[in-house]
Amino acid sequence: MLLLITLAVIVVAYANGANANFKGVASLFGSGTTSYRTAVNWAALTTAAGCVAAMSMTVGLLKAFSGKGLVPDALIAQPLFLFAVAAGAGATGLLATRIGFPVSTTHMLTGALLGAGWIAGGVDLDKLWDSFIKPLLLSPVLAVLAGSVIYLVLKTLRLAPAHRTRTLDALHFLSAGAVCFARGVNDTPKMAALLLGVGWLHGSTGMILIAVAMAAGGLVSARQVAETLAHKITGMNPGQGFAANLATAVLVTTASIHGLPVSTTHVSVGALLGIGITTRQAKWRTVIPVLAAWVITLPLSAVVAGCLFTLGRHLF
């Protein structure tokens, strides 16, 4: 069972990398600043750096996604519960990536904790609302506003031109790297928390394993989600892409420092959408299905995790 838990967490991390690594560099590719391959390599490198930094920066998230306080304490170290949560989130993430929808690993892990926890013995609904649902609902709204406001400010200051310059390219790459770094810091402890019950993978060892799996997922399987993020949410020029990255990096880094489980997906897509609304280039035919996928992923992962936990109780 410990081996199954570890493999399931690796699947979650791989799906996370495939679905989410490109979110920070989508504007580089979408605005024509660089090629897909350069963008995906930059994403892998800077996300890995964030994973390493997460070892000392995100104790709050590590505790939150271990399930402590959300489900009975007896479940936190129960192998079947950990496996059901990891497998439920991983299966949902792989399905979304295969379809090409940028979805939230935070949503999937929260849903899996909720589904397996509910079947196993109950969930603290107050903890669920305060520590999980509230920040997840608030973050995309803040991202839309931040994306729009930051773009308008940068445009007024002539720091977000429609054409490429050497300075803008450098700032654009740095801001994309900052988003990926922030995502690595925010997402790694959410998955590493599932390994707390696996005695030989405590702390930094588990986070390094997750960092490798995330990098592999992003390098090998990111193309479909990359096309959606780069070309199907909104049209963008280099200045607009830089503004979206800046807004995303600020919000996700702030949330990570305060231990808030926001979704990088919601923040990055929200920032792009905020700019798209401001410039009237938002592509609603894609945006609406993506928003629908965000609603579906939490209950879907909850159902899968709950079914796996129920099945496991009968088999073991």
pLDDT per residue over 283-299, tens digit each?
998 889 888 888 898 89
pLDDT of residue 186: 80
* pLDDT at residue 45 greater than cutoff 90: yes
pLDDT of residue 61: 58
Looking at per-residue pLDDT, the higher value among 42 and 140 belongs to: 42
CA dihedral (146, 149, 152, 154) in degrees, to 10, reads -60
* pLDDT at residue 22 greater than cutoff 80: yes
Are 163 and 237 in contact by the 8 Å Cβ rule? The answer is yes
* pLDDT at residue 59 greater than cutoff 60: no
Residue 26: exposed, middle, or buried by beta-carbon count in 10 A (0-12, 13-18, 19+)? buried
pLDDT of residue 67: 59
* pLDDT at residue 15 greater than cutoff 90: yes
Domain extent, residue 308, equals 2-315
pLDDT tens digits, residue range 79-124? Answer: 888 899 999 999 999 998 888 888 888 888 888 988 988 888 777 7
In sequence order, the 6+-apart residues with CB closer than 8 A to the CB of 309 are: 80, 81, 84, 115, 116, 119, 120
pLDDT of residue 207: 80
Mean pLDDT of 159-169: 89
Mean pLDDT of 157-182: 90
pLDDT of residue 294: 82
pLDDT of residue 73: 67
* pLDDT at residue 66 greater than cutoff 70: no
Work out the pLDDT band at 69, boundaries 50, 70, 90.
low
* Residue found under tokens 């402890």: 189
- Residue 274: which of 294, 256, 238, 247 has the closest Cα? 247
Total domains in the fold of the chain: 1
Tell me the chain's radius of gyration from C-alpha atoms: 19
For the chain, give the number of residues. Answer: 316
Percent of the chain residues past pLDDT 70, beyond the cut = 91
